């Protein structure tokens, strides 16, 4: 009788470990982490867009950022990156597995923009354009 309970316990532990591992969200994107911050300069024919994440929610998760349907960068906790974009109104999205949020931004050539990635009260990933003072 005792051996039977031990087998059930081992099976439960194995199933729990598999469920835990399956529940972890990963990213297929590759990225570099720089030791020193890099500040980019605006280009006269393109907009410079900084995307940053200060939230400590989901600390082990990497949020993927999409521009025009293509991944432009990823945000581990407390990081940022920048990219150049053509002027105009575009939709930029943030994805963490099936959890996705987006915002529309109107860009002008030669200007610098800041997008803050965060999570709503219920844990949905969000993106918002913020002023340069906050960014």
For residue 58, what pLDDT is reported? Answer: 72
For residue 3, what pLDDT is reported? Answer: 61
**pTM, full prediction:** 0.70
Q: For 1-135, where are the E strands, in sequence order?
A: 47-53, 63-67, 70-75, 79-85, 88-96, 99-107, 112-119, 125-130
Low-confidence ranges of the chain (pLDDT < 70): 1-39
For residue 20, what pLDDT is reported? Answer: 41
For residue 25, what pLDDT is reported? Answer: 46
For residue 118, what pLDDT is reported? Answer: 87
For residue 1, what pLDDT is reported? Answer: 52
For residues 41 and 63, what is the distance between their CA atoms, to the nearest angstrom? 25
For residue 13, what pLDDT is reported? Answer: 56
For residue 23, what pLDDT is reported? Answer: 42
């Amino acid at each position: 009788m005792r051996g039977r309970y031990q087998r059930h316990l081992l099976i439960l532990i194995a199933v729990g470990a598999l469920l835990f591992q399956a529940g972890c969200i990963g990213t297929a994107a590759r990225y570099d982490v720089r030791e020193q911050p890099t500040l980019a300069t605006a280009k006269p024919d393109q907009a410079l867009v900084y995307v940053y994440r200060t939230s400590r929610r989901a600390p082990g998760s990497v949020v993927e950022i999409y521009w025009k349907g293509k991944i432009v960068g990823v945000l581990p906790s407390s990081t940022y990156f920048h990219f150049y974009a053509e002027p105009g109104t575009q939709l930029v999205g943030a994805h963490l597995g099936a959890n996705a949020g987006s915002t529309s931004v109107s860009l002008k050539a030669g200007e610098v923009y800041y997008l803050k990635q965060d999570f709503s009260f219920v844990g949905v990933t969000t993106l918002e354009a913020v002023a340069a003072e906050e960014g």
